[in-house]
Amino acid sequence: MVSLVVLVVLLVAVDFGLRFFATQRIGSAVAATFGLAAAPDVSISGFPFVLQAINGEYDTISIRLPDVQLGAVRGVSATADLIGVKIPLADALSGNTAALTAASTQVQLSIPVSAVASAAGLPNLTLAQQTDGSLQATATLTVFGQEFNVGASVEAAVVDSTLQLRSGTLNGIGETLPFEVRQAIGSLMSLDVPLTALPFGVTEAGVLVVAGNLIVNGTTSAISFAGR
């Protein structure tokens, strides 16, 4: 009985050891493949790892990049969950991702609202989600020597690997905006955030605000690292 327990402990230890080794090698390979400054954090779900590795098929491999710059927007956290991954055991252990494929990828970006405000040139910009799910931007602007509290709805969409943030009609917050002020301000914000620096292209996405961060949840089609 004691021997069986010891054997189980050893098998579990070996399983976690191989998993850790594989994640380190895959992380280094992803960094080299996409020219990243540092290796991303990689995790492989499912137990036991050894059985998945022998078959060369994994339910999910998660890759997290904690500090990404997208155009003028800094401090972006990006997580990609690769679903239905296939990579031969030898390649996983050697860190060779050339044969890695995934049926799909779920990508989540966490963008600090402060970084969006800085890139948009509005240091006091705030973004909030309304009860209907829409985004609302507000800021205090000085026009003709007078401060005005203004707000506008914001449309967010991913077009041609770019997150586009566009504000709608301006409204005064607690006050009526004179026509001349509306004309002078024009649009509250118009910001393009390129997503091409990410290892995985985002084809479509939804956007919401959570705890001071703009959260972008997107998906990709099937991917292959071949030729990268």
The fraction of the chain above a pLDDT of 90, given in percent, is 2
Cβ(88)–Cβ(97) under 8 Å? Answer: no
Distance separating alpha carbons of residues 210 and 49, to the nearest angstrom: 34
pLDDT in tens, 55-103: 888 888 888 887 888 888 988 988 888 888 888 878 777 777 778 888 8
Cβ(98)–Cβ(225) under 8 Å? Answer: yes
Which pLDDT score, from 0 to 100, does residue 9 have?
54
Beta-carbon contacts of residue 114 (< 8 Å; ≥ 6 apart): 212
> For residue 137, which phi and psi values (nearest 5 degrees)?
-110, 140
Which pLDDT score, from 0 to 100, does residue 5 have?
53
Judge whether residue 45 has pLDDT over 60: yes
- In angstroms, what CA-CA distances link 78 with 43, 94, 111, 179, 214? 14, 25, 9, 41, 12
Cβ(104)–Cβ(218) under 8 Å? Answer: no
Taking all residues of the chain, what is their mean pLDDT, rounded to a whole number? Answer: 80
Return the minimum-mean-pLDDT range out of 106-120, 163-177, 214-228.
214-228
Question: 19-36 burial, b if ≥16 CB within 10 A, otherwise e?
Answer: beebbebbbbbbbeebeb
Cβ burial, residue 119 (10 Å; 0-12/13-18/19+)? buried
Distance separating alpha carbons of residues 182 and 78, to the nearest angstrom: 36
- In angstroms, what CA-CA distances link 84 with 11, 61, 189, 223? 25, 8, 39, 10
